[in-house]
Chain A
Amino acid sequence: MQKELKVSAIKNGTAIDHIPSNALFKVIQILGLEKSEHQITFGTNLESKRMGNKAIIKISDRYFKDDEINRISLVAPQAKLNIIKDYEVIEKKIVEVPDFIEGIAKCINPKCVSNIENIKSKFKVVSKNKVTLQCHYCERITNQENIIIKN
């Protein structure tokens, strides 16, 4: 018996799977999907054997560059991308957390120079499993649950 799809199939585009349910709206924000004119469907709190529950986003006629996708690794480090053409998955990509992150997240420390002067934030990734960032400037640690994504 064919498995029922909770989020309907798309003809062409990108499906982002294995997003933690609580990170769905952060992923939407990071990718700027709220301003997108492409057809988008998403589902959340879906059953997942590996993750307990998960979210999925399908975006029609939209493909992402690697550095765009790296941005979501901060909140969805285990996300998987399926690139779809003519209803077929033609490529699978895994999101990888980079060693160093520039300009995506905001330092948690209000007294940090990166929040005061007009400069790009920079972080060393000190843990990739549960993403933990250390600010290049003030050296403060930001845990995954406290990561604020810059608009």
Chain B
Amino acid sequence: MKSLVSITDFSKDEILKVLDLAAEFENNPNQNILENKVVASIFFEPSTRTRLSFETAVNRLGGRVIGFSDSNNTSVSKGETLKDTISMIANYADLIIMRHHIEGAARYASEISSVPVINAGDGANQHPSQTLLDMYSIKKTQGRLDNITITMIGDLKYGRTVHSLLMAMSHFNTTFKFIAPPELQMPVEYKNYLDKLGLKYTEYTELAENIDDSDIIYMTRVQRERFSDLLEYEKVKNVYVLTNEILENTKQNVKVLHPLPRVGEIDVNVDENPKAYYFTQSRNGVYTRMAIIACVLGLK
């Protein structure tokens, strides 16, 4: 049994195991391996997709869910420390799935808890189940993970999903293209990391034409909550909008991914384009999360 806090907690082999298991659960989604298990789903900040898909995963595996989706109704609002809250919940449940706005909260919880912790997002830091479902979507649509060209677009500075995906895909000889406004470029530590591994990447500020050789287009939302200066946010929020015209010259196999929620960065007309994959991607999240739960509990 081990926790999943950061995507770097899983080796390449463990990542591949999760993805194989996710495919198995997609073929046969209702398996009773969590019978007699209680899973705590504790969300200290709001989430729709992640919480519901984790809870769906637990239910499909035959487990029961306790928890909360708003910490205002818990002892946290009385000033209870995270340490006390986690120690208590670990006494009740066999597994903790946690989202928290404080960065590093999940790592800290995993050190306190006597049961495994799955990080469902800790502030701007990590969101490993999103990364694994992105990889599952890439493998499913491209038939492989090796030698893929991924173009990441939008907020590459604050977007935790792009950082984790970069780290995880670096096991698979990926070529990266980064398209971002100057204010939101990929941080230098990630570029240094790719340099060290000898992986290729290029950077652009223009969207059109720079995406034509991609296998995967990974769009992100510019997140207002990450900006302390709202004027800065207004300047960059609508720089890139993906349209059917822009997608016209892209490869036949290309798929557009997005961690969702989308605001204005993908034109709604793209939804009908066979290259759009973001809604199927979110369905893949349930199978991937079933696989993660089975893995951390050592049930598969």
Contact = CB atoms under 8 A, between A and B. Distances in A.
A126 B105 CA distance: 21
Chain A at the B interface: SS class: loop
A113 B112 CA distance: 13
A114 B105 CA distance: 9
Interface string B104-117: 11011000000000
A117 B103 contact: no
Contacts of B33: none
A47 B114 CA distance: 56
Nearest to B6: A139
Contacts of A95: none
A137 B82 CA distance: 14
Contacts of B124: 111
Contact of B103 (A109, A118, A119, A141): A109
Given A138-B125, A141-B189, A112 B81 contact: no
B189 A138 contact: no
B123 A118 contact: no
Name the interface size band of chain A.
10 to 19
Contacts of A109: 103
B126 interface: yes
Contacts of B105: 113, 137
A140 interface: yes
B82 A113 contact: yes
A79 interface: no
Contact of A119 (B108, B123, B189): B108
Interface in B48-90: 81-83
A137 B107 contact: yes
Interface string B90-112: 00000000000111110110000
A120 to B, nearest CB: 11
Contacts of A119: 108
Contacts of A114: 104, 108
Contacts of A117: 81-83, 108
A1 interface: no
Given A117-B82, A117-B108, A139 B125 contact: yes
A88 B189 CA distance: 46
A113 B81 contact: no
Nearest to A110: B103
Nearest to A141: B189
Contacts of B103: 109, 111-113, 137-140
A118 B83 CA distance: 9
Contacts of B6: 139
Interface in A107-151: 107, 109, 111-114, 116-119, 135-141
A112 B101 CA distance: 10
Nearest to A113: B104
B102 A111 contact: yes
B108 A139 contact: no
A136 B108 CA distance: 9
A137 B126 CA distance: 10
Contacts of B83: 117
Most A CB atoms within 10 A — which of B81, B83, B101, B102? B102
B104 A135 contact: yes
A138 B104 contact: yes
Contacts of B82: 113, 117
A141 to B, nearest CB: 5
Which 6 pairs between the two chains have the least Cβ-Cβ distance? A137-B104, A138-B103, A138-B104, A113-B104, A113-B108, A113-B105
Interface of B: 6, 81-83, 101-105, 107-108, 122-126, 189
Given A111-B124, A137-B107, A139-B6, 20 more contacts: A107-B104, A109-B103, A111-B101, A111-B103, A112-B104, A113-B102, A113-B104, A114-B104, A117-B82, A117-B108, A119-B108, A136-B104, A137-B103, A137-B105, A137-B108, A138-B103, A138-B123, A139-B126, A140-B103, A140-B125
Interface of A: 107, 109, 111-114, 116-119, 135-141
